[in-house]
Amino acid sequence: MLERLFQLNAHNTNVRTELLAGVTTFLTMAYILFVNPSILGETGMDKGAVFVATCLAAAFGSAVMGLIANYPIALAPGMGLNAFFTYTVVMGMGHTWQVALGAVFLSACLFFLLSIFKIREWIINSIPLELRSAIAAGIGLFLALIALQNAGIVAANPATMVGLGDLSSPAALLAILGFFLIIGMEALRITGAVLISILVVTGLSIALGVSEFGGVVSMPPSLAPTFMQLDIAGALDVGLISVIFAFLFVDLFDNSGTLIAVAKKAGLMRKDGHLPKMGRALIADSTAALGGSLLGTSTTTSYIESAAGVSAGGRTGLTALVVAVLFLFALFFAPLAGSVPAFATAPALLFVAVLMASGMAEIEWSDITVAAPVVVTALAMPLTYSIATGIAFGFITWVAAKTLAGRFRELNGMLVALAIFCVIKLALF
């Protein structure tokens, strides 16, 4: 049955290898079980329900990817997208989390339609690679700021807006230790470095009396507080159009980059650069995002951590299916997730920021019409506390720089239209 479903022999793999790869992938991305409830919980959402929604969304998304596309790629609520959900849409713009879930649902519907009608490639090709790298780097810097705030390393300052926090506090010291642990273990290629760091810092925090221990295993909490609580009508407000498109664009770029990177590492990409079953993978991804919004979590997306499972030999959807099963088992560890303080997940956010900022290496810094929009995009996100604003500034600056430099021919209609839309959005809403 497994051979018929996943074509193991054709991919030069076997059940044992796929099982090991699935466990490896799960360990590298299981930190989302602790980070996602911590971030979304700040909106007022029930953390127990968010934990269950995270498990179920990850299990559903990974299973769909494995069964429909037969790719060894796992899915879960995306880092960066959950921060945008909480800190920009809810806390920044003042919308309810129900409306934010509605925006996630609508963006997933658009993503699904783009995948069905194969418009995705046209949109992605319309956005310069440098600008896509800048968006990823900007989200990384935004996550870094959130991480440093949660750890108490950065604090508000009335004179300079931000300043150094109390580094002698247990929270700051434990967060710093956690980050160093991740870096050390990653350098030594220890599987599950981020997860291990979170558990070590949480254990030390409980032992020192800094945080309380809520237990390890129990029956899953109720999903009722978030299940089907999305407000689609509220998300159709004209002021949320840019939010829906921000969810869409970030998910689109994130997914495409992840799929290409992991597929290339797994040897699934053809010599001409074409990725077989790319359409199926994107349909699986958008379906997972739709399901996640109904369950009560931010956008579900493909995880680059899937590359760890590929390195362990994963080549088929059986790897993703193993990850799905493990996320279902994780449902019974809600008390452990509730015992994790925010400063224990801060190192994970900071580490993800490091990974996302690496895209800046691809920038052609000698071209000022490229360098300027990239820097503006990356800096605007943390400094305005808004991913959507950073994306808008990036599109506007790119078009303005190219136009004023007499290089209007380097632009395309899609990019110009997006820049005009962003100007209107910033001016009117």
In a domain, 397, yes or no: yes
In a domain, 404, yes or no: yes
In a domain, 279, yes or no: yes
Residues 110 and 10 occupy one common structural domain: yes
- Contact between 33 and 333 under an 8 Å Cβ cutoff? The reply is yes
The winner for highest mean pLDDT among 2-11, 243-252, 264-273, 409-418 is: 409-418
The winner for highest mean pLDDT among 108-117, 142-151, 169-178, 265-274 is: 169-178
Model confidence at 259, pLDDT cuts 50, 70, 90, reads: confident
In a domain, 291, yes or no: yes
Residues 249 and 383 occupy one common structural domain: no
The whole-angstrom separation of Cα 418 and Cα 395 is 7
Number of domains in the chain: 2
CA distances from 376 to 1, 394, 418, 419 (A): 53, 6, 16, 14
pLDDT in tens, 294-314: 999 998 988 878 888 888 888
Choose the final residue of a domain: 288, 312, 332. 332
pLDDT in tens, 315-337: 888 999 999 999 999 999 989 88
Percent of the chain predicted with pLDDT > 90: 44
The whole-angstrom separation of Cα 417 and Cα 211 is 50
CA distances from 229 to 102, 124, 261, 280, 365 (A): 9, 32, 35, 28, 46
Arithmetic mean of pLDDT, 128-147: 86
pLDDT in the model for residue 272: 58
pLDDT in the model for residue 121: 67
The whole-angstrom separation of Cα 205 and Cα 201 is 6
Residues 321 and 241 occupy one common structural domain: yes
Choose the final residue of a domain: 281, 313, 332. 332
According to the 3-state scheme, what is the secondary structure of 255-294? HHHHHHHHHHHHCCCCCCCCCCCHHHHHHHHHHHHHHHHH
What value, to the nearest 5°, has the Cα angle with vertex 87 and ends 225 and 385? 175
Residues 226 and 124 occupy one common structural domain: yes
- Contact between 329 and 157 under an 8 Å Cβ cutoff? The reply is no
Q: For residue 110, give the nearest of 296, 278, 256, 251 by alpha carbon.
A: 251
- Residue 162 in tokens: 């931000």
Residues 407 and 278 occupy one common structural domain: no
Residues 321 and 373 occupy one common structural domain: no
Residues 129 and 13 occupy one common structural domain: yes
Choose the final residue of a domain: 290, 314, 332. 332
In a domain, 21, yes or no: yes
What value, to the nearest 5°, has the Cα angle with vertex 215 and ends 211 and 218? 145
Residue 155 has a CB neighbour count (10 Å cut-off) of 13
- Contact between 411 and 403 under an 8 Å Cβ cutoff? The reply is yes
In a domain, 339, yes or no: no
Residue 389 has a CB neighbour count (10 Å cut-off) of 22
In a domain, 152, yes or no: no
Residues 37 and 115 occupy one common structural domain: yes
Residues 414 and 302 occupy one common structural domain: no
Residues 322 and 368 occupy one common structural domain: no
| Segments forming the whole domain that contains residue 406 | 363-429
In a domain, 189, yes or no: no
Residues 138 and 283 occupy one common structural domain: yes
Model confidence at 271, pLDDT cuts 50, 70, 90, reads: low
Residues 275 and 367 occupy one common structural domain: no
Residue tagged 């931010």 (tokens): 298
* Entry pTM: 0.83
193 phi and psi angles, rounded to 5 deg: -60, -45
Model confidence at 53, pLDDT cuts 50, 70, 90, reads: very high
